[in-house]
Amino acid sequence: MTALQKLQIDFNNLTDREKQNFITGILAQTTGQLEIIKIKSEINQINKKHCPHCKSHSIVANGKNKGIQRYKCNNCGKNYSENTGTSLAHLKKAHLWKTYISHMFEGKSIAKCAKLTGISIQTSFNWRHKILSSLQSLSPEKFEGISESDDIFFNYSEKGCKSLTRKPRKRGNDGIKQGISEDKVAVILTCDRKSHKDIKVAKRGRISKADIENVLSDKLDKESVLCTDSHRSYSAFTKAHNIKHEKIHARKKQYVKDKIYHVQNANQTARALKDWMTGFNGVATKYLQNYLSWYMVLDQIKNKTNKPKEFAVAALISTDAWFLFKNIALNHI
């Protein structure tokens, strides 16, 4: 008896209710797959196909395996598939990915996404971070014109780590020193007036010129004007890179300089980000960048007509997602 014949017999033995559930389940899986294929072909049009190992465009199609297109790179000789390096790589239940990401887009918790998708909580956790690792590739390449930078701080956290390198903090805020200490993680937030935004984890404690260089040196140039509140490291950075620097002295009640220079967009984004982050109930520092990228992408797509689809594209577009996900544990700062 063929597998199909056996399935037909089993199907006939189901109650009407069970038959209905079975058909709905199969349909959800198939349409989910079809939509992923559609999104992927759109991504291939935006992003000329390249080898995820060496980035060469000299590639040839090399057959299909279980419906997944395979390629061979003429430059490095490696074989790979259209899922290699993406958030779909090595996913045993890839047909459930579409269901999962729609729940994730709606902001449902890891446990809720697991239940609604029919996967374990650990798998749900891993999928969330594979997807967020893909979102990291969406930070802007350059800022244009007047830009604003601000550093904001989150509590350092080793939540979920088995071996703590620091004493667990007591309940409440007793363990946190006042001011900027090693207990705080500095994040550099930058935006321009064309809605480009970048939010990057810099280091524990107070930031230096070198930290700003790591995050910003490729993204600003001689045409840029950088507005910050008065902070010595930003002055040193802009001076070294020949960038015009406008210091806003908020403490002296100066909020706008020459009618155009201010840091109000950065401040507003910082407040919105802090608000959004409180919904997650404390994020371990090694995952902080993923959450910042999540916020950035939601902000980028907020005026698009089909937001869930834009989110799915962002979650599939990077071929560095798998690598970034595998290395999350090394995100020690």
Question: Which residue ranges make up the site for Zn ion (CB under 5 A)?
Answer: 51, 53-54, 56, 73, 75-76
Closer of 59 and 324 to Zn ion (Cβ)? 59
Closer of 55 and 326 to Zn ion (Cβ)? 55
Closer of 59 and 202 to Zn ion (Cβ)? 59
Please report how close the Cβ of residue 51 comes to Zn ion at its closest, in angstroms. Answer: 3
Distances in Å between the Cα of 50 and the Cα atoms of 45, 201, 292 are 12, 29, 27
Please report how close the Cβ of residue 70 comes to Zn ion at its closest, in angstroms. Answer: 13
Closer of 68 and 277 to Zn ion (Cβ)? 68
Please report how close the Cβ of residue 104 comes to Zn ion at its closest, in angstroms. Answer: 31
Please report how close the Cβ of residue 48 comes to Zn ion at its closest, in angstroms. Answer: 14
Please report how close the Cβ of residue 78 comes to Zn ion at its closest, in angstroms. Answer: 5
CB 209 within 8 A of CB 240: yes
Closer of 28 and 76 to Zn ion (Cβ)? 76
Please report how close the Cβ of residue 77 comes to Zn ion at its closest, in angstroms. Answer: 7
Closer of 285 and 318 to Zn ion (Cβ)? 318
CB 149 within 8 A of CB 188: yes
CA pseudo-torsion sign 212, 213, 216, 221: positive
Please report how close the Cβ of residue 59 comes to Zn ion at its closest, in angstroms. Answer: 7
Closer of 54 and 210 to Zn ion (Cβ)? 54
